[in-house]
Structure 1
Amino acid sequence: HFQTAPFDKNMPVLLALLGVWYGNFWGANSHAILPYDHYLRNITKHLQQLDMESNGKSVLQDGTPVKIDTGPVIWGGVGCNGQHAYHQLLHQGTQLIPADFIVPVVSFNPVADHHQWLYANCLSQSQALMQGKTREEAEAELRSKGLNEADIAKLAPHKVIPGNRPSNTLVVERISPRRLGALVAMYEHKVFVQSVIWGINAFDQWGVELGKELGKGVYQRLVGTLEDSAEDGSTQGLINYFRGRHRG
């Protein structure tokens, strides 16, 4: 698909372009991954590592500084849990945060109508991000519940939801090994396309190496095999605190 589909039908390319569009032109600094399936509960962590370690770069392939923002912060989690936590920020917060909803049509655990409700929650959340709720709609809703006009004027502004918040809804038949692999491959190719657009190298992680190197010296100072002070006073102070209070 990635090699043969034209750009206007190529999912990794389209997702990559949407990410560049919202990140570089609309100022979105993060991207939410919201799976509506228990078996995808860890996919956000995987995509976080994939995206942020690959495209968290500030230098072009020729060694010169990047002049635009590159990889976003990837975060999120299982959708129904998120609805009672950070979805509030998605709907009414001041930041623009694109989101990917991922949901299967068929569940491996068909208990009563639970999956229908799960699917409905996924679609309704994406619909709410898109449509929002106007001041007039909020006032009409409160009026239908019998509130007086003074209370309506006071409460309605808090119920307004801007809408027009970007999201994708990715629907799969069921979470099988093949479809899970295709889903991961789609995101891998998305990240690669973005690295090409930004001109960065998605296949190195030098930023991680520095902490590992410094960690050896910190460990040696913690256990007392290295007596000289750390490179900065803050770290040395934390080492001293540990050594003065650690038992075991």
Structure 2
Amino acid sequence: MWRTVLRLTPSFSIPIFRGTNVNDTNLLLERTPDVPQTGWERVKKMYSRNDYEEMSVELTTVIQSASCGAFIGAALGGFVSSRVAYLNFIENNQATIFKSTAQAKKQLQDYVTIAFAKGAYRWGWRLCFFTGLFSLTATTVSVYRGDTSLIEYMSAGALTGALYKIDMGLAATLVGAGLGTVLSAVAGLAILGILKVTGLSMDEIRKALYRLKEARENQYNQALEKSATIKNDELTKSHNEIVKELGERKIDDIN
């Protein structure tokens, strides 16, 4: 019954359990001899390096997501902690006598800076870990299935929510898993809706992000090469001037 309902349901109305309609065509999913055909083959390729010892497009996307989570977590945690520290310092030191205004400002700055660092560390690694775990789980399930749907988001949300509350007992773990499933389902519906409206697939987005990464690396390598060329040119010029001034000497003549 459910298979009949899903088969007859238009993909533009309820894009939940499958990303595209069965009659739609996607050139990225067409079978080719060099592309892994089974789910485990695709997962194995995802966790393997290519001939140039480069990570796969999927793992690169996971690392980018984790790095973005670390940056956002560090920024939010640092700003919130520094603001709380600033208010606490003003409240607790209203009757404190300082030798000078500079000393008070210095202590305030040190107090706020330490609080910012602690907050950035505390929230940065947590958001990095859970964002990376969520992205890794969702991407692995998606690669294994060869499609993008709500299943991978719900499974990743359940696993992440359970691990977040695992130190509080079994009941809290189940509550965290349920809450993570609900929140990830809402986020997954939003993502699938955006993909359907834009006509893109998650694989195309991963490849676009990977091309951006390659473009940044190429620009960085070109800048290094240009800097090295300029440096070598100046060094060669200086060497030629010294040789011209002092003359050439053989290695045997140097003590």
Taking structure 1 as the reference length, the TM-score comes to 0.26
RCO higher in 1 or 2 (8 Å CA, sep ≥ 6)?
Answer: 1
Taking structure 2 as the reference length, the TM-score comes to 0.26
Which has a greater percent of strand? 1
Which has a greater percent of helix? 2
